Amino acid sequence: MHKPGMANFLTTDIYALTAEEYSLGRNNVEVVELLIAAGIKVIQYREKDKKAGQMYAECLRIREMTKKAGVTFIINDHIDLAMLIGADGVHVGQEDLPPTKVRELIGSDMILGLSTHSPAQVKAAVELGCIDYIGVGPIFATHTKKDVCEPVGLTYLEYVAKNHQIPFVAIGGIKEHNIREVKQCGAKIIAIVTDIVGASDIPAKVQSIRQTINQQ
């Protein structure tokens, strides 16, 4: 079944995430505006410490912006928020609600992503039959998540790329200086957080990262 927003996911190179504490004083709405201007086609809202009402108001505005620009908008963890604002999808972790139950809540049209950290987890994700894409990582050490597991490295990334057909995004500590090796291990969609949101000129940084990705 075709899911709105999945076409962007399957054709993009960069999967951008919000991280307000690293955004040089800019709020998430301002950052998303710059991401859209930079040509980013998939954006995940990841926010752990804000009040629900504040997140709702912010995501409502971002949903308007992304819809108008034809950008896929995914919300991390907050299934209720994703449903309320009509996001394209939701992304959950291994310790969140079971994906089958999340799928029951969100219905068949919304994208469902699941973080994975091992071959056993990707196998289980595929067998569930309700996951649209997986996160593969953290590839390198990352500080943007407080409860993150140890880096899984490039070996797990290579394993997923060679052994599974499910769409995946490589994530965790990826920056312009190490992005080529991530691509060389089979990643087509690469999540970048602080290297983009922490740039003084976000569109210029995105352009620079894309040039690095496409270098032969």
Residues annotated as catalytic are: 46, 115, 145
Helix or strand run (H / E) with residue 43: strand 42-45
Kindly list the domain boundaries of the chain, sorted by start residue.
Answer: 6-214
Question: Of the candidates 44, 215, 57, 59, which has an alpha carbon nearest to the alpha carbon of residue 145?
Answer: 44
pLDDT of 165 reads 96
pLDDT of 54 reads 96
pTM, rounded to two decimals: 0.96
Angle, alpha carbons 70-76-82 (nearest 5°): 60
Whether residue 212 contacts residue 176, with contact meaning beta carbons closer than 8 Å, is answered with yes
Average pLDDT in the chain: 95
pLDDT of 49 reads 86
Whether residue 81 contacts residue 58, with contact meaning beta carbons closer than 8 Å, is answered with no
| 102-151: pLDDT as tens digits | 999 999 999 999 999 999 999 999 999 999 999 999 999 877 666 667 88
As a CATH number, domain 6-214 is: 3.20.20.70
User: Would you tell me the crossing angle of helices 202-214 and 28-37 to the nearest 10 degrees?
Assistant: 50
